[in-house]
Structure 1
């Protein structure tokens, strides 16, 4: 792999918050003071990040159709939360979908400097894009034996296998953000597969070396 600087963001609800990890060379680290979307954007610009992988839906679901990317992943036995329409998420009496609104805010803040990648392939420049740590883990270690229930063990192991120094990371949220960053590196090298379509948005996952 080359050493282009990339980043990943794990998106959570208001209580858990969002976590930015930058991958500079083989070192994955969390910059200080990066709690808000604006602070995360400033850090990415400061470190010269080229691509930002974000673990949150880049588009809302379509009424009675959902998102093609999620359906395609499900056919591969890789399951995720179904993204509702924005209206249905807004009308939900609980706060479960709050993390999706937080993701929407990040995409909006990043849009001028890191516009959402709206094609299957990276064409250069600075971009943001959607990815999904469980799908990343399945791609890089194989679906057999990969389980979200084992993520605290398996996801750090994926980073270790990729020769990423994640010793400064502490939580599973940090590791998920680092996997998003690793996918960003695959993206700029032209080694990701895009599930989905333009209307519903793409979810990019790595294509490992044979």
Structure 2
């Protein structure tokens, strides 16, 4: 059972996806309503992201950043499972190591931590699948894993802009121009949130204690299951 807040059953599928960057890049967010583009936001401020989510009454929020730190200095179980499936991803450090690392190398992860902490009082972190109908939550996801799941195969990360935009086009999500890779990734996170909110099959990597990474159920291949 997921840790979620029930909403009225007639609530539309209003969801958001957020790409998290460091202090300079900030947050790129995209909102979808019933699977179609609704709005977008770019800000460096966590409070502005949270206010925007509340303003447009999002139901489910997918976030491209670790929701929890490593507890032992190794990659979290979710990250190890993704890498075992052929999907390279960052290995989250312990929080202590992130703070001690010179040059703000893990600044984007610390920004992600701040965002999850600000959202969780009203959007509890998803702890299990499937999500209860008409529930509100936030969750961790990963654009490269989303792209592989939607394509049904391992796709090139080097051609991510072309491949990921093509997958959004196939899903009927047309972003306003210009739309850089951060906005595209936010839209992929939002598409995953739409899958989750609308009851479409999703897959979860990892375990609740160190965080789940949730992606759409692979469409054709069994490689990521």
SS at match of 2:163: helix
Find out whether 1:163 has 2:175 as its counterpart: no
Find the counterpart in structure 2 of residue 134 from structure 1: 144
Consecutive unaligned residues in structure 1, runs of 5 or more: none
Find the counterpart in structure 1 of residue 206 from structure 2: 196
Find the counterpart in structure 1 of residue 25 from structure 2: 16
Which of 91, 95, 107 aligns to 1:86? It is 95
| Counterpart Cα distance in 2 of 1:85 and 1:135 | 23
Q: Measure how far apart 1:97 and its partner are.
A: 0.4
TM-score normalised by L of structure 2: 0.86
Find out whether 1:143 has 2:158 as its counterpart: no
More strand by share: 2
Find the counterpart in structure 2 of residue 43 from structure 1: 52
| Counterpart Cα distance in 1 of 2:140 and 2:181 | 18
| Counterpart Cα distance in 1 of 2:42 and 2:210 | 32
| Counterpart Cα distance in 2 of 1:86 and 1:32 | 28
> 1:171 and 1:198, CA in 2 relative to 1: closer, same or farther beyond 3 A?
same
Find out whether 1:76 has 2:85 as its counterpart: yes
Alignment check: 8 A CA contact 1:169 1:175 kept: no
| Counterpart Cα distance in 2 of 1:94 and 1:34 | 22
The Cα RMSD (Å) is 1.9
- Stretch moving more, 190-199 or 4-13: 190-199
Alignment check: 8 A CA contact 2:28 2:40 kept: no
Find the counterpart in structure 2 of residue 106 from structure 1: 115
Q: Measure how far apart 1:173 and its partner are.
A: 0.2
- Stretch moving more, 187-196 or 81-90: 187-196
Name segments (4+ residues, structure 1) moved above 4 Å.
none
Q: What CA deviation, in whole Å up to 9, does each residue of 1:156-179 have, x standing for no partner?
A: 001001111223451110000000
| Counterpart Cα distance in 2 of 1:81 and 1:88 | 14
Find out whether 1:207 has 2:217 as its counterpart: yes
Q: What CA deviation, in whole Å up to 9, does each residue of 1:110-134 have, x standing for no partner?
A: 1111111122331242100000000
SS at match of 1:94: helix
> 1:209 and 1:93, CA in 2 relative to 1: closer, same or farther beyond 3 A?
closer
